[in-house]
Structure 1
């Protein structure tokens, strides 16, 4: 009967692998934020999208689209992160410093950054908090770690007989609980920050913050993949608990008392 019930553990392993893949895709893909960008002089709507590290800005001011890479640039000394399409790393740093100080850097995707410091507005700096950004990355990495651990424990218990009593099914259960909780924390953190910090208005991008383009932003698939990863972890919890319930419900094996047989019958154990 125990062998039959191992199908639940193996199913939890497959679900854990899917959970790991989803977290990796969410962490590395470039569609946490997606938006169209419109202006009065363009052939069609421009587009932008970016993730936690990079993104893409497609400008359609002319018939031929101008495709630019967006770089997430973070500066701990000013507690600011922002997207920049500058082709030079130093120019990107200057742009983020200017945005954090409330100045108006030139948004063009060139190798230099010119800054207009005539009317600073530091209270409305169109940047992402560096502390918030690091927290999101850290929690996502922690979720990935516990999801990998859950997958390892699941395959360990699916192949060993009997199941491992130490760091086995209880460990598999609680690592999935931790994975689901961490995923919920990331989604809540980013969702609340998106709605309350002004990120959904300025997008931490000079083109949008300075009004060169008008955005129609939203959260992309990279963010919503975390919901599926959470559901995978919750599904694993259900599978493990259902297996435990079924094993408890099964009748105990028959017991044979040797002292009741005095006819010399040989019992094999």
Structure 2
């Protein structure tokens, strides 16, 4: 069985995670000096890692709790050189432990290559030596089902969740309403009657002239398949009204009458 991280090694990884969280918060709402200081602290924490010494050790999450044994079994399936860790939050630990048990019932020797969150849902990459097509098909179906469940399961607490996006960053996570409120995430797919100055996010505008996409995180408008950036919103979108935007070349774009405003990320 692979060796676990020592207490000192685990502390260094936890320090990197904490510094990264602080930097993320400073990027969202800090001053220039606070962002610079948090970024420097994160870089300093990274220099303390020894990836050449720890890559093949077990990186057991410090919040594994009752799922620890199952997560250790899962990480032991990762071959040398891939990095023995999982990159997701506690709410998905039960899902992963059950998935491992289901896959092992078909192929006890299957390998895990990577397990992570990407674009708000689970990604689970595995390999199997079984030469039975039906077995491979069943294993792929189990992974697909687990990844689908992750899109309905809060990755923080395991309660029912939905896709959310963080204001101003575009980072996506599957969260319950309570966790989303604490972490400043808003639901993808929400509809509003108007957009106002200071609002962030990327929005689809359904208008009488067709759809347009207004990305307030990056100052971009797309309509007719053509992106424009940077832009200035002159008249803010509202259902029943028209939006007006100044384009990079100095011209203006005016929408048709808006019938729907929906967050897409």
Greater share of helix residues, 1 or 2? 1
Q: Same fold (TM over 0.5)?
A: no
* Larger RCO (CA under 8 A, 6+ residues apart): 1
User: Which has the greater radius of gyration?
Assistant: 1
Greater share of strand residues, 1 or 2? 2
Question: Which category describes the TM-score, using the shorter chain as reference length?
Answer: under 0.3
| TM-score w.r.t. length of structure 2 | 0.22
| TM-score w.r.t. length of structure 1 | 0.21
